[in-house]
Amino acid sequence: MKELLAKIKIQALEEIGKAQNQDKLYQTQVKYLGRKGELTLIMHGLKDLSPEEKPAAGKMCNEIKVAMEAAFDQKRDQLSASEINSKLNDAWIDVTAPGTPYKTGHIHPLSQVQQEVENIFSAMGFAIMDGPEVESEYFNFESLNVPSWHPARDMQDTFFVNQEADKKHGKLVLRTQTSPVQIRTMQKYGAPLRIIVPGRVFRNEATDARHEHTFNQVEGLLIDKDISLAHLKGVMEEFLTRLFGKPTKIRFRPGYFPFVEPGLEMDMSCLLCGEKGCRVCKHTGWLEFMGAGMVHPNVLKAGGIDPKQYQGWAFGFGLTRLVMMRYGIDDIRLLHGGNLRFLEQF
Ligand code: PHE
């Protein structure tokens, strides 16, 4: 009996020492101390021993049981400590590892160029103005010297909104040009004035590589005493030279817009070929840049300014076309297409 118990003890302690994880340890515990465990069975058998043998055997059994339980407890603590450690190792954070890159996006090429245009004109003392995109017929046409019967209305095919602005102001339209902001600003601030108006305009165009229903313009208006087209020439030459970063020439040609008199078209020298003539400038050395002219007296009156005291000039150019020229973009539809493969190039 003594030997058997001693053997069980040695065996059990050895197995406890070897257990690699809690499962194995638990199985070992069941094997020796469970309901049908080896030690348990021996303890059940104690009652069959002779009265002389019983006390010593019972005592030994108890000692072994206590020793085993202590060994199990100790091993269990040891195993769970090392499990926690290995979990901590798995979850270890490398604070020096580079972060996951994420896309921040960037400014649209139209907005980039608009900001440059605004900076150049601000530096020359122009204020930056804004106006509604849904405009009344009055501001978009009548006040700009284009009555409803005027054939010049055909120059801009208009989107009409199914609603009257009011009796005097006619229907609502999507503005076809930024020029209505000329009138709004004159009415609000009077003369003298020096403003530019970047903004979206809309026309009922059949879209192709050069035409879109939505595009961006920049309007300019300068009103003061003794103003002439010479000032316009100086301002525009300076503006284009700063924008393109190289000397740029301009020229005026007669042009017609009802809200200016005289009216003109302004061309800029082709920077691609240096005026030698190329495919882009159709071998003329010049690119059409904008419409302009001296503000018509009727327009000044509509803005509440006395044409006998003040005069000035206005211009309007396509920001969209400027961006296309600047980056050599050959299809206007790309600019509002929202295609990232296109936009990420800027
Ligand atoms: N508003 C005109 C257009 O859209 C351009 C322009 C503006 C012409 C100001 C003359 C003066 O075509």
What percent of the chain is predicted at pLDDT more than 90? Answer: 63
Ligand 1 site, CB within 6 A: 177, 179, 219, 257, 260, 291-293, 314-316
- Rounded to an integer, what is the distance from CA 281 to the centroid of its chain? 34
**Is residue 172 classed as helix, strand or coil in its secondary structure?**
strand
Atom of ligand 1 nearest to the CA of 290: 5
Confidence class for position 155, pLDDT limits 50, 70, 90: confident
How much is the pLDDT for 3? 86
Query: What is the value of pTM for the model shown?
Result: 0.72
How much is the pLDDT for 104? 86
Rounded to an integer, what distance in angstroms lies between the CA atom of residue 323 and that of residue 332? 9
**Average confidence (pLDDT) over 322-334:** 89
- Which of 163-167, 224-228, 319-323 has the weakest average pLDDT? 163-167
DSSP letter at 29 equals H
Most confident of 77-86, 170-179, 265-274: 170-179
- pLDDT at position 103 over 90: no
Strand order in the sheet with 250-254: 127-128, 193-202, 214-224, 311-318, 286-295, 260-269, 250-254
Phi-psi region of 151 (alpha: psi -120 to 50; beta: other; left: phi over 0): alpha
Q: Which of 158, 185, 214, 259 to mutate to test the pocket of ligand 1 (most atoms within 8 A of CB)?
A: 259
Confidence class for position 255, pLDDT limits 50, 70, 90: very high
* Higher per-residue confidence, 130 vs 42: 130
Look at ligand 1, atom 10, and give the residue with the nearest C-alpha. 292
How much is the pLDDT for 91? 80
- pLDDT at position 92 over 80: no
Q: What architecture is the 109-343 domain classified under in CATH?
A: 2-Layer Sandwich (3.30)
**Average confidence (pLDDT) over 250-258:** 97
Contact predicate 196/181, CB 8 Å: no
How much is the pLDDT for 107? 94
